[in-house]
Amino acid sequence: MRRLSPDRLAWRDAMPALVSALVTAWVSAGCGTSAPPAASPAVAAASPAPAAAAAATPLLRLAPAALGRTLAWQQQIRVRFRDGAGADHVRELQALLEADAGTTRLAALAGGQVLARLAWDGTRLQVSRSPWAPAELVPERILSDLQLALWPSAAVAAALPPGWTLAEGPGWRELRQGAEAVVAIGYPGDPDNRGDRLIALAHRRDGYTLEIRNLAAAPAGDGVRP
């Protein structure tokens, strides 16, 4: 059997808690609670979860054309989460994101190796993963977090089920179930909430945070295509 490098082993062990992004790798549900990134006052101000029973967080399926713009971004993603033993963890990776009116594409990389690729055309979600990527990787949540942060608020709000709302102001968004802020998103230095500088996302219910920083335009070619 081929032995994995320490870098790959670390990612394999952490990936059951990751689902994301962004852009990025995102953490999967149920990892515990963690503090939001300090870079985002809007995220830091999110209200705690109430004791009432909570429904599953909606998975968005917005048409690529609803984005209303074209993206070709290279991103640095920092994931913070707490494992079942209560230990805090931080993981970093890169993502290549392309989006146009027809398709949204994402490739997540760590240690120079591709973790996963996905493509969404509004009808079908295509996913390819490295052999060492765990089954717990949830591409549907990756796509949903991207759309929650980047798609226009009107498109997001129109797709939410009853009992869920999207609140927004300059530099912040919150996905709410009733009075609970389930997901808080901050856009530091970006009052228009376009997400083309820095996005700080805190999933209060699922217990992870993402700090997504745009580095440059994605390189030309088909590197993000499944």
Tokens at 56, concatenated: 């599953």
Q: Which of 60, 88, 90 has its CA nearest to residue 183?
A: 60
User: Are 36 and 123 contacting, i.e. CB atoms less than 8 angstroms apart?
Assistant: no
Q: Residue 126 corresponds to which tokens in the numbers above?
A: 């295509």
Number of helices (H) and strands (E), helices first, in the chain?
Answer: 4, 10
Exposure string over 40-58, b if 16+ CB within 10 A, otherwise e: bebbeebeeeeeeeeeebb
Instruction: Please report the pLDDT score of residue 198 as a whole number.
Output: 94
CA atoms of 62 and 79, how far apart (whole Å): 24
pLDDT at 49 over 80: no
Instruction: Give the pTM.
Output: 0.73
pLDDT in tens, 169-211: 999 999 999 999 999 999 999 999 999 999 999 999 888 899 9
CB atoms under 10 Å from CB of 107, counted, come to 24
Distance CA 31, CA 48 (A): 16
DSSP E strands in 111-195: the ranges are: 113-120, 125-129, 164-169, 172-177, 180-186
* Residue 65 burial (CB count, 10 A): 13
Digit-coded pLDDT (tens) for 68-117: 999 999 999 888 888 888 888 888 888 899 999 999 999 888 777 888 88
